[in-house]
Chains A and B, each alone.
Chain A
Amino acid sequence: MAMEMRLPVARKPLSERLGRDTKKHLVVPGDTITTDTGFMRGHGTYMGEEKLIASVAGSVERVNKLICVKALKTRYIGEVGDIVVGRITEVQQKRWKVETNSRLDSVLLLSSMNLPGGELRRRSAEDELAMRGFLQEGDLISVQAVFSDGAVSLHTRSLKYGKLGQGVLVQVSPSLVKRQKTHFHDLPCGASVILGNNGFIWIYPTPEHKEEEAGGFIANLEPVSLADREVISRLRNCIISLVTQRMMLYDTSILYCYEASLPHQIKDILKPEIMEEIVMETRQRLLEQEG
């Protein structure tokens, strides 16, 4: 059995660790970004007294004439077409309330949900009564977001989305998930990962055969093999270490981090020194790959 107690260590600022000049223009609400009026203002800014002022705490990004402030820590703000992973909190009449780490609970209408078997028909009153049989409080689903009036509306139009089975959920800040073409990744190490845009990351064992998934309603409750479990636990710890060091999450960074962590034991990855070492190696590999 292992027991480790230690004295706390003050965290070193990021630029010291990186050892290079990473001067990002960081602002807090109320800071002046620029007094030049030629710029178009984007998200996170507002015009006041002839100056452009930031309304959120984050880093300033400039694309030609557009200035916007990207918030570092924020709740999930839904965009059309995003993939999210959510947890059912309530079962109501004709819809489910889903928790997606946004300002309001998201809504999943009964008519937007796949029926088991993939059949297409009009939802009847019996379907309404059987809602709890499909999805209960606590269930996890992967859905696509349709942004509406501040509360995100969700739908699972294709059979790729639906109720999730066995696996591990990791909750991170939405700003750390990189926007990509696809968010469903089958990693070569033996597990699959869904990077929800809302910061909910679902790690699960790769299903053996790519069968015609019935929207995942028939949950597979058979025990997952030990080898798959080790991969999943390692991935979970790697994702947590990337998040602690504020690195963007996408399939390549997760994979490099996984490979860098192989020499260490799974439970050791969360120790601060080993975490720093692994993420440093990942960062270097990513820089080499870019440059």
Chain B
Amino acid sequence: MASVTLSEAEKVYIVHGVQEDLRVDGRGREDYRCVEVETDVVSNTSGSARVKLGHTDILVGVKAEMGTPKLEKPNEGYLEFFVDCSASATPEFEGRGGDDLGTEIANTLYRIFNNKSSVDLKTLCISPREHCWVLYVDVLLLECGGNLFDAISIAVKAALFNTRIPRVRVLEDEEGSKDIELSDDPYDCIRLSVENVPCIVTLCKIGYRHVVDATLQEEACSLASLLVSVTSKGVVTCMRKVGKGSLDPESIFEMMETGKRVGKVLHASLQSVVHKEESLGPKRQKVGFLG
């Protein structure tokens, strides 16, 4: 993970600030930085989204491809995650440097989506045991400014909301061989319901308190963090502790409650932004990367 070195005095300043609920940039402990979300930025994907959270810049592309269902779940499609930490984020990611972080993030994404209700996988099934849709979710880290997991989960949710999977029909002829027919209208597609897709809220423990949305400097002062994955209704799907330090069970409970509270607000804001963007229609001004 990209990190900055800080002097002892700077760390002490940050820790005391967190205690007084006034962080270096004037935020409170539970405030997020300004988030910019834009969907449909990559034209040759089924769905895409770009999220900018302070200095963290994430691009997610979703491609829907035809595949065979897994043996143990013959009536469902599935999701595959891949995270690429690009070397333009920090020089540490050059060559194979970003692979460790990439696999860690991908494994976390698998875990949070590993339950029955996050995404309705039955809608991805075309014909049981034979054909299904596989959604390849690719995450690209463009810039690393702290709080990667939150930004990635917001981008994944926005990209899944934007995903349009073409509608197909299975035609059976007399010999029993199946043919898959794509509908003629390019706009005839199915959309995924992202109501239960969870988002990750990272809570970093700094001193005796915890903060949401830590910057790189704040992450350098924190020894332990808790990643809580929350749905829009406040249900926790997965929890993970990262960092070398230890967490008291009581503080874990407090952090979880904060995570649930913050998560609900996060979902509500994201929902309103993506709906607003969709209501602007296909004629909206796309900012993209050159704005």
**A interface with B by C-beta (< 8 Å):** 1-11, 87, 89, 136-140, 164-169, 219-221, 223-224, 226, 229-230, 233-234, 236-237, 265-267, 269-272
Contact = CB atoms under 8 A, between A and B. Distances in A.
Contacts, number: 125
Contact of A10 (B25, B26, B27, B285): B285
The 8 closest A-B pairs by CB, nearest first: A266-B26, A1-B30, A138-B5, A10-B291, A267-B26, A166-B13, A233-B26, A5-B269
Given A7-B36, A224-B16, A1 B26 contact: no
B5 A137 contact: yes
Given A10-B291, A166-B13, A267-B27, 17 more contacts: A3-B31, A3-B266, A7-B37, A7-B276, A8-B38, A11-B291, A138-B7, A140-B10, A164-B9, A166-B9, A166-B10, A168-B10, A219-B9, A220-B9, A266-B26, A267-B28, A272-B34
A3 B32 contact: yes
Contacts of B36: 5-8
Given A6-B34, A233-B26, A1 B261 contact: yes
Contacts of A223: 16, 19-20
- Chain B residues touching A, majority SS: mixed
A110 B115 CA distance: 60
Contacts of B26: 230, 233-234, 237, 265-267, 269
A123 B31 CA distance: 50
B12 interface: yes
A11 B269 CA distance: 23
Contacts of B269: 3-5
Given A233-B24, A267-B31, A5 B13 contact: no
A164 B33 CA distance: 28
Nearest to B290: A10
A230 B17 CA distance: 10
Question: Which of A7, A87, A236, A266 has the most B CB atoms < 10 Å from its CB?
Answer: A7
